[in-house]
Copies of this chain bind each other. A is one copy, B any other.
């Protein structure tokens, strides 16, 4: 735990991390941020409004008509674009699955004091915009440029450091990634909370790279040292580990919890007999999912995979089960084409990033 009691750190009200008990400020974050409802994993596209939202600071309310995107810094020919100019560029629409890097944090012990996601920080939307690469080429990074940084209009404090949310990608990463400059989601203009009027979508990476409320793209001659790049979103073994950056999503799968729920516990109840389990699986970097297995009554069984659709969107899977009376814990785990497999237990990380452990769904099967 931090020993820093500067009132600006936000740690003043921190309680000792304890499995299964949460502080008021963690519940405040859970009330503020929102995730998918797992039953909507049945749908290819997450309904607008159910895509997960992790908002570090406040949602800026931006006047689209006067908003400009500035290309600045170490570019040969810096320029600005307004929204009409961006919409007049070549447009693409593609479904992309995004997951928050902190998804699964509450399953990592000891738990880091941040947004206590369980499984729900994921979603798939149809994003519309223009590819970023031609615009970077048009601005022309100078010969000594090494990274491009992206800044949002959202400002606030984290651990005492005031900053606009900003992230960078190296020129090599930009050459490889299919980054989009996005102004619409599911066929509608971006909603304020999803980055209106303009945001980045970085397919295949965790969500922190997809900067919202984008206003400035800056070419840098040294690696970006912004808070969100170097102080967080890093895998760390211990508090004094400088860490490695969080980048591509890890392979993961989730299932629609079968049966019907209890209101407060969310425990699932179903009748004995045949049931088809369905869910979604995805991996990072555009790597396809090659296998999904479901643990049923102690044995792992291979699920059916629907044909892979869009490169960066999740894949639907299904598996038949004959539910027998009693308590069961269902699990699912995916393998991707690179041979990466979901672990059964949460991988350790100080901040609980990228927990892709197999989902557990307890169900009670009863005749009544």
Contacts and interface: CB of A to CB of B under 8 A. Distances in A.
Contacts of A59: 37, 39-40
B264 A25 contact: yes
A117 B266 contact: no
Contacts of A155: 260
Contact of A30 (B10, B30, B192, B269): B30
B262 A31 contact: no
A22 B26 contact: yes
A312 to B, nearest CB: 22
Interface stretch (A42-50, A204-212, A234-242, A300-308): A42-50
A14 to B, nearest CB: 8
Given A31-B35, A262-B8, A193 B47 contact: yes
A162 to B, nearest CB: 7
Count of this chain's copies in the oligomeric assembly = 2
A142 to B, nearest CB: 33
Given A30-B27, A157-B262, A260-B157, A7 B364 contact: yes
Interface string A48-84: 1111010111110100000000000000000000000
Residues of A in contact with B, size category: 35 or more
A173 interface: no
A143 interface: no
A28 interface: yes
A197 to B, nearest CB: 13
B116 A27 contact: yes
A320 interface: no
Contact of A49 (B23, B42, B48): B48
A7 B264 CA distance: 12
Given A20-B24, A48-B48, A48-B49, A264 B29 contact: yes
A15 interface: yes
Contacts of A43: 61, 192
B42 A61 contact: yes
Interface in A262-282: 262-267, 269
B48 A13 contact: no
A157 B270 CA distance: 11
Contacts of A106: 24, 27
A12 interface: yes
Contacts of A56: 263
Nearest to A56: B263
B37 A58 contact: yes
A132 interface: no
A158 B158 CA distance: 40
Nearest to A368: B162
A50 B49 CA distance: 7
Given A22-B26, A40-B61, 19 more contacts: A8-B364, A10-B262, A11-B265, A21-B22, A24-B106, A25-B264, A27-B30, A32-B35, A34-B35, A37-B59, A39-B59, A48-B49, A50-B193, A57-B263, A113-B264, A156-B260, A157-B262, A158-B264, A188-B188
Q: Which 6 A-B pairs have the closest CB atoms?
A: A49-B49, A10-B265, A34-B34, A30-B30, A10-B262, A39-B58
